[in-house]
Chains A and B, each alone.
Chain A
Amino acid sequence: SAVISQKPSRDICQRGTSLTIQCQVDSQVTMMFWYRQQPGQSLTLIATANQGSEATYESGFVIDKFPISRPNLTFSTLTVSNMSPEDSSIYLCSVELGARGNTEAFFGQGTRLTVV
């Protein structure tokens, strides 16, 4: 398994501001994933972050709103920009570990964001 640390664990932010969420993993991983989980809902993939290249965004998510950094193989950040109350969600980072063809996904503890 992996130790995945996310910071902050929660925050309350004013609309129009931005928040950067950090994700640190205790081992080197090729891909890191950022998910959003709206209240009472399932997990929706925002983007896949690869080290050394731009993140790949899913339909409905854009780089200007959710810029991602991936400076090395153990760390990534997700920024939620120009926030509105609709951005209130739990944001989770995830990594896949294991031998190729036999990987498992593990999640950070999440960042609970409330926009007021």
Chain B
Amino acid sequence: GENVEQHPSTLSVQEGDSAVIKCTYSDSASNYFPWYKQELGKRPQLIIDIRSNVGEKKDQRIAVTLNKTAKHFSLHITETQPEDSAVYFCAASITDYKLSFGAGTTVTVRA
């Protein structure tokens, strides 16, 4: 089955700086790569996703890049704000199939 590895496990950044989280996956058939943000005590919320027919996608301060050859994808958050503090999970799947999640990254934005 799919194995998703995520790094780093914790990330502390100064407000206004950028944060980068990296994930690798094992199944070359995977073609859907979502990112979820989970605040303490709340459900995971989809923040951005990318499908294998594109290499990069951006939504305001958040961007995701995908390298299918190397089987890795990354989340980039620019101009970080305190409300970006949360746990972020990457995931991978074959379209319309079950998701495999990374271990999560706890992001802390220092004011």
Q: B54 CB to closest chain A CB, in angstroms?
A: 13
How many of A's residues come within 8 Å of B, CB to CB? Answer: 21
B89: Cβ under 8 A from any A Cβ:
yes
Residues of chain B in range 29-87 having any CB-CB distance to chain A below 8 Å: 34, 42-46, 49
* Residues of the B chain whose Cβ atoms lie less than 8 Å from the Cβ of A59: 1
A108→B43 contact, CB < 8 A: yes
* Residues of the A chain whose Cβ atoms lie less than 8 Å from the Cβ of B89: 42-43
Q: Interface residues of B: mostly helix, strand, loop or mixed?
A: loop
A81: Cβ under 8 A from any B Cβ:
no
A42→B98 contact, CB < 8 A: no
Q: Which of A101, A106, A108 contacts B46 (CB 8 A)?
A: A106
CA distance A110 to B99 in the complex (A): 17
A11: Cβ under 8 A from any B Cβ:
no
Binding site for A on B (CB under 8 A): 1, 34, 42-46, 49, 89, 95-96, 98-104
Q: Would you list the 7 A-B pairs with minimal beta carbon distance, nearest first?
A: A107-B43, A43-B101, A42-B101, A42-B103, A109-B43, A42-B104, A107-B44
